[in-house]
Chain A
Amino acid sequence: MASADADRIFRDQLVALIPSLRTFARGLCGTRDLADDMVQDAMMRGWAARASFIPGSNFRAWMFMILRNQFYTTLRKNRRTVSLEPEFAERMLVESPAQQHQIHLADVGKALLLLPPEQREVLLLVGANGLSYDEAADVVGCAIGTIKSRLARGRKALAALIDGPTGNSSIGRAA
């Protein structure tokens, strides 16, 4: 049985992970409200299942796995494509550190939604949230080699989608 101390540690880890979980969910489904609903469900599921979490094991991978399952359950129920919220898209204008190129994150969000979910999730786990290949493999439930190949294909596809048919942006050439 989990003690109050263990619960507090669990709770603090959960709080620290909220931004990453929200990023993952938002990137997977494209809408803020649906993503936040999924994250909240995942948090509640994680909390309810905290006794099954082994202290010292990878909490981040464990929670991402719960959220991922939540996403695919929701996807099966809804079976509909969602689009990126304009409000979110408008705020996501960034400049590269070198300030040589401007990349609209709205384009990145939209392009992500065009990728197969198995590539999208790996890009979000490793590229956006900084998980290692090992962690991503744990979350997705596949071999590390599969993660690497999906990441490579996803990066290439994402760059191509952002570049467009003319390929006049620098993003594709860098990948």
Chain B
Amino acid sequence: MVEKKSRKGRAMYGSAMAFDPVTAALQQLHQAVASEEVPEEFLRILDEIDAGIAAAKPSTPQ
């Protein structure tokens, strides 16, 4: 039996919700990806972003 305590989608995430294998499997899907090391290409993008931030002048009063 599946409880319907909340109309929010977030309730699918809640621990108060009865165990639902479909939701659990989808959450595990997320955890499987989240546990992976972030690929090098992502770090390069972040480096580019960091360089852009560093190059930007801080907002100072004139």
Partner-B contacts on A (CB < 8 A)? 3-5, 7-8, 11, 14-15, 18-20, 22-23, 26-27, 36, 39-40, 43-44, 47, 88, 91-92, 94, 96-98, 101, 103, 105, 108-109, 123-124, 126-133, 135-136, 147, 151, 155, 158-159, 162, 170-171, 174-175
Contact = CB atoms under 8 A, between A and B. Distances in A.
Nearest to B34: A19
A87 to B, nearest CB: 11
10 contacts: A4-B58, A26-B29, A43-B45, A47-B49, A96-B19, A97-B19, A97-B24, A105-B28, A127-B23, A159-B22
Main SS class of interface, A: helix
Which bucket holds chain B's interface residue count?
35 or more
Interface of B: 2, 7-10, 12-13, 19-30, 32-34, 36, 38-39, 41-42, 45-46, 49-50, 52-53, 56-59
